Amino acid sequence: MKLTIALVLAMGVASGHPGGTTASLGDNNPTDTQCKTSAKADIVLLIDGSWSIGRLNFKTIRNFIARLVSVFDIGPDNVQIGLVQYSGDPNTEWHLNAHPTKASLLKAVANLPYKGGNTKTGMALSYILQNNFRRHAGMRQDSRKMVILVTDGKSQDEVVTHWQKLKETGIELYAIGVKNADENELRSMASDPLETHVYNVNDFKLLPDIVDELTLNLCNSIKGSDVDGSVVPKESLCHPSGTVKWMLCKTSLCNGAPRQPGASALLAAAAILTVLVEVLQ
């Protein structure tokens, strides 16, 4: 009987439905996936607030950001998230150290105003290097530095030179394009490997579809040498002591590297074998 239950649960893990449940995809509900790691990260969200987005779509972006934020342990010793909204000129909505709790950060996201204007991504990239990745803004020397760019169009200024300056400082960039975004431009800005750092969807309503994969890749980048880090669902299969007995991806397997063909199947098989070993023991 135990073996049968274990197989059912393991198949759920392998298919992305741990314990027979799925992550919530409601418009206003945070994802059920959580990034568990002791590594530090300073993340600046660079959000396009140009007129082409529109107020209704900007609400969708707010929901997308809320779901993204909800995955991480927010705090001065964990993950810090700042936000810059840009159009014709960039504006810091809040610095990295402005919100030391997840509740405070989510409240700020819900109240994020819509800026409006043009799309000057190059200027925005230069701005965050000069103003947001600074100690006075909360940046920590021992953290992973990351940018998550969300835009719906081609920049009206040059971007590659500004991105190169960010790259030289060790900052990692994820580029997310929506609707009329220029994929070649996104790829010219994103960090390697492009397979895990570039996302492009045809409509704002499709943004929720990329949350789980994006946060998984972010978590793998953040944890770095933290071999105990993992991405797990809240309702995960656990030992009675509470120790999680499976991981979607260990640092030793991925660590931000592009996933090779068949890697997902191997990880799924590993999850099944882990559960079976526990039961048989």
Which domain does 264 fall in, by range? 228-280
User: Which residue type, as a one-letter code, is found at position 123?
Assistant: M
What own/partner pairs with CB < 8 Å and gap ≥ 24 does 229-233 have? 229/35, 229/36, 229/37, 229/38, 229/39, 230/36, 230/37, 231/33, 231/34, 231/35, 231/36, 232/33, 232/34, 232/36, 233/18, 233/19, 233/21, 233/23, 233/32, 233/33, 233/34
Treating both helix axes as pointing N-terminal to C-terminal, what angle do 263-280 and 2-14 enclose, rounded to 10 degrees? 160
From CA 256, how far away is CA 221, in angstroms rounded? 5
For residue 121, pLDDT over 70 is answered with: yes
pLDDT tens string 156-208: 999 999 999 999 999 999 999 999 899 999 999 999 999 999 999 999 999 99
- Mapping DSSP to helix (H, G, I), strand (E, B) and coil, where does residue 50 land? coil
Q: Is residue 269 part of a domain?
A: yes
Confidence at 79, pLDDT banded by 50, 70, 90: very high
- Same-domain pairing of 133 and 173: yes
Residue 258: pLDDT over 60: no
Length of the chain: 281
Residues 68 and 194 in one domain: yes
Kindly report whether the peptide bond that precedes residue 193 is cis, defined as omega within 30 degrees of 0.
Answer: yes
On whether residue 213 sits in a domain, the answer given is yes
SS3 content of the chain, % helix, strand, coil (to 5): 40, 20, 40
pLDDT average, residue stretch 83-98: 96
**269 band by pLDDT with thresholds 50, 70 and 90:** low
| Counted domains in the chain | 2
> The domain that contains 80 carries what CATH number?
3.40.50.410
Domain match, 73 and 114 both: yes
Together in a domain, 248 and 183: no
6, part of any domain: no
Residues 196 and 105 in one domain: yes
Q: Residue 33 is inside which H or E element, if any?
A: strand 33-36
pLDDT confidence bin for 48, thresholds 50/70/90? very high
On whether both 67 and 193 belong to a single domain, the answer is: yes
Q: Are residues 265 and 186 in the same domain?
A: no
* pLDDT tops 80 at residue 239: no
Residue 254, pLDDT > 70, answer: no
Mark which of 175, 206, 223 sits at the end of a domain: 223
Same domain, 212 and 246: no
- The overall average pLDDT reported for the chain is 78
Residue 223: what pLDDT?
86
Do residues 218 and 265 both lie within one domain?
no
